């Protein structure tokens, strides 16, 4: 009787130990919001997102002699569109489809380059995000935000290590967007 229970339990534990870690990276940056501009009186902007990256992977790592592709837990277009909507609402804009200025937030690059040895790993993360503002009067402006982040650690890089690096570089980029007023000034000048 004991043998009948013992072998299936051992098999279950052996299979459980072979389980692969998830291949998604939890993308959840901190969203910095700008100051409200009290001079805005009912100005509406439309916002959409685009992902121009040629590869949808956030990172590629070698685990157990196999190349593993790690992808974001959320669609980056919608994540950054949501970020920009929150920032524009905080400034005092209304978000809607018919607007004098259309904003598009574009993910040009977001990648964590992971290199691993036997005792150390290095994660070099880069973000390149653009906001393209197009006014109905024909004026257009593109503003790019770039950030990089580097971290080293012991042994192998886990998904959590990579997620922390990606979230850090995204948080820095989002903070730069919140502090920058060039898109805000373009909208104010062209929304009349």
Does pLDDT of 8 surpass 80?
Answer: no
CB 58 within 8 A of CB 10: no
| % residues pLDDT > 90 (the chain) | 73
Average pLDDT for 119-147: 95
* pTM, entire model: 0.85
Average pLDDT for 9-35: 73
Q: What is the pLDDT of residues 174-184, one digit of tens each?
A: 999 999 999 99
Give pairs for 169-172: CB < 8 Å, separation 24+.
169/110, 169/125, 169/126, 169/127, 170/27, 170/29, 170/110, 170/127, 171/29, 171/30, 171/32, 172/127, 172/147
Average pLDDT for 149-175: 94
- pLDDT reported for residue 17: 47
Structure tokens at 90: 């905080």
Q: Could you tell me how many residues make up the chain?
A: 192
């Amino acid at each position: 009787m004991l043998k009948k229970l013992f072998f299936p339990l051992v098999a279950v534990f052996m299979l459980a130990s072979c389980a692969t870690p998830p291949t998604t990276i939890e993308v959840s940056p901190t969203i910095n919001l700008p100051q409200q501009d009290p001079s805005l009186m009912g100005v509406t902007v439309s916002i959409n997102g685009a992902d121009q990256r040629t590869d949808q992977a956030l990172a590629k790592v070698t685990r157990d002699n196999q190349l593993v592709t790690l992808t974001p837990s959320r669609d980056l277009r919608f994540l950054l569109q949501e970020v920009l909507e929150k920032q524009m609402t905080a400034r005092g804009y209304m978000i809607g489809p018919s607007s004098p200025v259309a904003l598009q937030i574009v993910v040009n690059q977001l990648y964590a380059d992971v290199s691993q040895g036997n005792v150390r790993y290095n994660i070099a993360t880069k973000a390149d995000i653009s906001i393209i503002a197009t006014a109905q009067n024909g004026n257009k402006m593109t503003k790019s935000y770039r950030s990089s982040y580097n971290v080293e650690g012991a042994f192998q890089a886990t998904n959590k290590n990579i997620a922390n690096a990606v979230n850090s570089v995204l948080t820095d980029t989002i903070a730069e967007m919140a502090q920058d007023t060039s898109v805000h000034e373009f909208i104010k000048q062209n929304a009349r």
